[in-house]
Structure 1
Amino acid sequence: MITKNSTSCNRAISFESIFTYIGVSTLLRKAKFVKRSGADVFTILTVLITSVFKGYPNLYRFFESTEGKSLPFSRDSAYRFLSNPSYDWQSLMLYMASFIISFICKLNKDNKEQINCLVVDDTMIERCRGKKVELLSRQFNHVIGKSVKGFTNLALGWTDGVNYIPVLSYLIASNRENNLIRKADTHGIDNRTTGARRRKIACTKKPEVLISMCRRAIREIPASYILMDSWFFSDYLVKKLKELGLQSICLVKRNLNFKLEKDSDKSFSQINLLKHINGGKLNKGNLITSIIAYTNKGLRVRLVFIKANVSKEWICIVSTDLDLSPEKVIELYGRRWSIEVAFKAQKSYLGLKNECHAHDFDTCNAFMVISNIRFQIMEFNRRHDNDPRSMGELFYNIRSELTALTFAEALESLLNLIDDLANSLDAAGCIRKGKLAKAKEVIAAKISEWYSGITDYIRMYIQLPQSS
């Protein structure tokens, strides 16, 4: 899969050989990518995907370079390709994910305890200066705590504990008309095309979009659980996902109450549930506590409480699979961090954040999917490089398993994400005087290690732009 670049210390991926191996030409036809004349869609797609690895900040700069001007098609042809409302970008992304996941599952087939999970999360793609961008809207960004102009990127991925593969992704606008800065431009777009359906999905509530995404994904890929952040937890969504055959593992907000009996009129806060378990007082010695409870709408769940730091802070994780042990719930939920790493890598290196400056919604959607396809290829190649079982005859000689996140690693990742951990330790006298700043640096370094596994691998392939 990998070829040495003779003119650079960086390594270069042969994208054409990977695409041929995956059968992208067939998948393009299956996803309605058809051109009557000019450069074929396979060539255009390959150029669009590889452009970011040549170090150019955006597509415009790439086509202004000597390499861009020597291509068999123009910049205008590329933009017409991106803005075509008939092309089903989401289907192409799903088909490629299905092939890559099938490849990974063959490597895992000897592991009888292997658990495959879907992961869902969203991230903001800001277009602060956009005024004419189609379906641009004002949305609340929970990370910075204020409203911004842009889109929400609702992403669904798959993980086996080693790799994260993007499966489906949609741009979501506000479903409130007064928050829309510019409405959808439906002039000249056939309602039967995927472009028209994309615009309709963009104005749909996120839980409904997520249910549709999961329904579509599980037809193509194997998964038993779905991992979610606290923003997604609701009885309605969890029940719908369970009907599809997906058990939910989700962090829950502190203000959410639960019942000890299904028909009881009395509900308890999470802290009171902890006191009930421990006989009226919090047990500082127990790191993990678990209980079976009911939501206010009667859904039976397992609550897993994890002590966050030396104070009385606790994290609560909900699992709809009552047979899972508390340790396994924590281990599986620890995999959710992989989607955060993917967002970081895509925004920093793969063009998700700043590559697209187009105004029409189809082009914005295409750029977003291309960023996900780049990540798919990098993860496929990374697994191919790092897993000896994928190298022909060595499969029969080397039987060591790639391990998923262990319970200890998953628990450590949750604990280290607590912002005030260093301050709490200092207040308890556990840090030597004058060493608080050093402790904070150590914690920050631990969080950064999560990113290095993927971002360093991707950075290795980014080339400096060649002079025109």
Structure 2
Amino acid sequence: MFIVPSEAGNKQEISNSISRFIHAFKVGSLLKKCNCKKEKGIPFMKLFTYILCNVFRDRSMYMQKKTGSFREDFSRNTYYRFLRSARSNSFIPINFSLLASSKEENILGEVKSYDRRSLAGKRRIMAQRKGTDVMIQLIDEAMKAGHKAGYVLFDSWFSNPHQIVEPKDKGLDTIAMVKISSRISYEFNGERRNIKQIYNSCKKRRGRSRYLLSVPVRVGQDKKDGHSVDAGIVCVRNRINRKDWLALVCTDMSLREEDIIRIYGKRWDIEVFFKTCKSFLNLGSEYHGLSYDALTAHVALVFTGYMLMSVAKRDDEDERTLGELFYFMVDEAADITFSQSMKILPDAMPASIRTVFQASEEQINTFMNDFISRLPEYMQKSLPADTAA
């Protein structure tokens, strides 16, 4: 267990926490697999650790040099060369891609040529593809790296039929927010209809139901998407505007409507993730250069910092990391709490009666005998043996 210190001035404790994180999860070995290694001079892990420490010290290299607190044995040029390195990739939780324009008039700065087989070249090729195609490529790379998932969750920006059909072909079910558009149609009762037509043609559930409508459809067309897949559409009320509605599509026909809504709710975690990265880890504000490789390195370092925070929070606050011992502990704690309460009750109640009503011992005993006799049998058995009944 380790804690990321909250005091920005405690440099040594911050460094020790990050070092334990790197050692525990073998970050160095993972970075080597991404071709992150030194060619000469300062060790790679020293620069990597220094940049992570800066995130939690809330003090940039510029401010350290300005205040005279910079004590590292490498120069500013070494620091920026590390961020600009085009021959290395950076360790990240799953994967990400910074999209860029393929039009020359929209490109700022000098355009360098890279070997298309290198990591830098592949990153640039991916950055200039459509975002919906990049999503499929990122899923492929995550699966090849050994990651497993039951569902792919995404919002309406990605929920075109093609993006719903393709993950299904890879063995992954999709739960997505349906794009409310008249241009996207689904096969419903043998006809092609858009989501508005489907919603208006069906009877809605009344009362306090968690959803308004649930219907089976087929998503995709043979000409555009190769084939179609079975899916279910669940319509729910919009929390912001109760007169409005939202629609979810799921390709797992065995899921209940309540489970579809619950699982899709997990997608909100990514919104919290981005908010945390922007507000606390300086995503997009710490580096303002035009180098695509430097921006990629900046985002990767921010994401690594978020990983460190998540692991620290889980180890420090979440008792579920104890495994099965957690459940035994919780059950035992509940029994102890009940037992202690039943021991306190026979002592606290007579004392209050004696103080407030000035009752005699005989009156108090009569009251307690009557009170205990009215308790359920299991509560009477939980009282101390010397308590009057």
Normalised TM-score (structure 1): 0.62
CA offsets per residue over residues 427-456 of structure 1, 9 Å max, x none? xxxxxxxxxxxxxxxxxxxxxxxxxxxxxx
The one-letter amino acid of 1:259's match is: E
1:20–1:64 Cα change, 3 Å:
farther
Indicate conservation of the 8 Å contact 2:4/2:312, yes or no. no
Structure-2 separation of matches of 1:360 and 1:61: 22
Task: Please say if residues 219 and 231 of structure 2, whose CA atoms lie closer than 8 Å, have aligned partners that are also in contact.
Answer: yes
The amino acid of 2:98's aligned partner reads L
Contact 1:251 1:316 in 2 (8 A): yes
- 8 Å CA contact 1:59–1:355 kept in 2: the answer is no
Please identify runs of 4+ aligned residues in structure 1 that moved more than 4 A.
3-13, 391-397
Q: Deviations over 1:81-128 (max 9, x none)?
A: 111111112xx21xxx3xxxxxxxxxxxxxxxxxxxxxxxxxxxxxxx
Counterparts of 1:1-400 in structure 2 under 5 Å?
A: 1-2=2-3, 12=14, 14-56=17-59, 58-67=60-69, 69-89=70-90, 92-93=91-92, 97=93, 167-182=94-109, 184-186=111-113, 189-219=114-144, 220-255=146-181, 256-261=184-189, 264=190, 266-278=191-203, 282-285=204-207, 286-288=209-211, 289-295=213-219, 297=221, 298-308=228-238, 311-391=242-322, 394=325, 397-398=328-329
Q: CA 1:386–1:41 in structure 2 vs 1: closer, same or farther (change >3 Å)? A: same
Contact kept in structure 2, 1:252 and 1:316, CA below 8 Å: yes
Structure having the higher strand fraction is 1
Whether the aligned pair in 1 keeps the contact of 2:165 and 2:219 (CA below 8 Å) is: no
Q: Distance in 2 between matches of 1:243 and 1:62?
A: 52
The residue type equivalent to 1:290 in the other structure is: S
Letter in 1 for 2:329: I
What one-letter code is carried by the residue in structure 1 that aligns with 2:62?
Y
How far 1:6 sits from its partner (Å)? 8.4
User: In the comparison of the two structures, how many residue pairs are matched?
Assistant: 316
Give SS of 2:72's match. Answer: coil
Distance 1:53 1:3 in 2: 8
CA RMSD of aligned residues (A): 2.8
Moved more, 232-241 or 330-339: 232-241
Change (3 A) 1:205 1:371: same
Unaligned runs of 5+ in 2: 222-227, 332-389
Q: 1:272 to 1:178 in 2, by over 3 A?
A: same
Q: Structure 1 residues 74, 397: closer, same or farther in 2, change over 3 A?
A: farther
Does the aligned pair in 2 maintain the 1:294–1:300 contact within 8 Å? yes
Task: Give the whole-Å Cα distance in 1 for the aligned partners of 2:33 and 2:316.
Answer: 29
Could you tell me whether the CA contact under 8 Å between 2:164 and 2:219 is conserved in 1?
no
Deviation string for 1:341-386 (max 9, x for gaps)?
1111111111212111222211111001111111111111111122
Q: Distance in 2 between matches of 1:393 and 1:329?
A: 28
How has the CA–CA distance of structure 1 residues 307 and 190 changed in structure 2, closer, same or farther, with 3 Å as cutoff? closer
Contact residue 3 and residue 17 of structure 2 kept, 8 A: yes
Q: Distance in 2 between matches of 1:175 and 1:283?
A: 48
- SS of alignment partner, residue 343 of structure 1: helix
Cα distance change, pair 76–246 in 1 and its aligned pair in 2 (3 A): same
TM-score by length of 2: 0.73
Secondary structure of the residue that 2:73 maps to in structure 1? coil
Q: Secondary structure at the match of 1:172?
A: coil
How many angstroms apart in 1 are the aligned matches of 2:110 and 2:8? 48
Amino acid at match of 2:197: N
Distance 2:30 2:195 in 1: 48
Identity of aligned residues (%): 27
* Letter of the structure 2 residue corresponding to residue 73 of structure 1: F
SS of 2:54's equivalent in the other structure is helix
Distance 2:323 2:74 in 1: 38
Select the structure with the greater relative contact order (CA < 8 A; seq sep ≥ 6). 1
Q: Separation in 1 of the partners of 2:324 and 2:187?
A: 56
Contact 1:28 1:42 in 2 (8 A): no
- 1:272–1:36 CA distance, 2 compared to 1 (3 A): closer
Aligned mates of 1:6, 1:185 — CA distance in 2 = 42
CA–CA separation in structure 2 for the residues paired with 1:224 and 1:63: 49
> Which residue type is aligned with residue 230 of structure 2?
R
Cα distance, 1:77–1:42 mapped onto 2, change above 3 Å: same
Q: 1:235, 1:299 within 8 Å by CA — same for their partners in 2?
A: no
**One-letter amino acid of the structure 2 residue matched with residue 292 of structure 1:** P
- Supply the AA of the counterpart residue of 1:267: R
**Stretches of structure 1 lacking an aligned partner (at least 5 in a row):** 98-166, 401-468
Q: Is contact 2:9-2:57 (8 Å) kept?
A: no
* Greater Rg over alpha carbons, structure: 2
Name the SS for the 1:196 alignment partner.
Answer: helix
